[in-house]
Structure 1
């Protein structure tokens, strides 16, 4: 009899804990996400979409910007999964490396810009909870994740571009196939 009572209490308790977490998100993180997205869209509208497009296309010419600043901005401004659309600004042979850089940045960005990839937010919050319980600063954690993420995406982008060029050369793909569509 006690087992059934314990099971009933704890079974409902599980759902109560989930509901409490949901209410916490609705009063905490959701308003923050809405404000951050509104700011980003207002900034793009203020600058002008055409200007932003020209600026991004000019960045795509340089490796260091193509695999650092471009993925960072695409994830922060367009969020996951729309961030991949920035790939239209890079040449075909750079697209695999650009994609790799974006995918690699989707977790490190969540500490400072949680709206950018909501799917990774739960992973980050789990880690952040442990760090906070240990007495460390969450701001420091978020900043370190972000900076380490920038280094990682640059390295991954450069290595993936190198591998892609090797494969293109090995397979004898004609130059006109790798030009921007």
Structure 2
């Protein structure tokens, strides 16, 4: 009988804790995400969609920009998962590498601009809380994640593009 009572009390406690967390998000992070997303869309509207598209097409010509600027802009402007549609500006043999770079950047951007991949925010905040408890600054962590992410996406993009070309050539696929 005691086990049933314990289960009933703790089972509803799980939902109470979830509701408390949800309300924290509704008054904290969700308004922040909405404002950041609104700001980004306003900047795009002020610059003009055609100009943004033109800048992305130009950056696609150069390896360094293709695997740094393009994934960063795609994640910041379109957020996850729409960010991958920037691949439409690329040649077929570059698309797998761009996808690899973009998908690798959706976590490092979370610390500075959480709206870009809100689903990863919970992971980042868990790490950030541990860093803060250890006596370090969360802002420093966010900047380091971001900068490390840029290096990682460049490396992944270049390596994946080379692997794609190698495998296509070995298989006799014309790209």
> Is TM-score (shorter-chain normalized) higher than 0.5?
yes
TM-score, length basis structure 1: 0.92
Structure 2 unmatched ranges of 5 or more: none
1:71-102 superposed Cα distances (whole Å, 9 cap, x missing partner) = 01100110011001100111111001000001
1:140-181 superposed Cα distances (whole Å, 9 cap, x missing partner) = 11111111111000000000011111112222223xxx3xxx
- In 2, the alpha carbon distance for the partners of 1:34 and 1:92 equals 34
- In 2, the alpha carbon distance for the partners of 1:34 and 1:118 equals 11
- In 2, the alpha carbon distance for the partners of 1:47 and 1:107 equals 27
1:92-141 superposed Cα distances (whole Å, 9 cap, x missing partner) = 11001000001111111111111111221111121112122222111111
TM-score, length basis structure 2: 0.95
Structure 1 unmatched ranges of 5 or more: none
Could you say which residue in structure 2 is the equivalent of 1:89?
Answer: 89
- In 2, the alpha carbon distance for the partners of 1:35 and 1:170 equals 49
CA RMSD of aligned residues (A): 1.2
Number of positions where the alignment pairs a residue of Structure 1 with one of Structure 2: 175
Measure how far apart 1:55 and its partner are: 0.6
Could you say which residue in structure 1 is the equivalent of 2:109?
Answer: 109
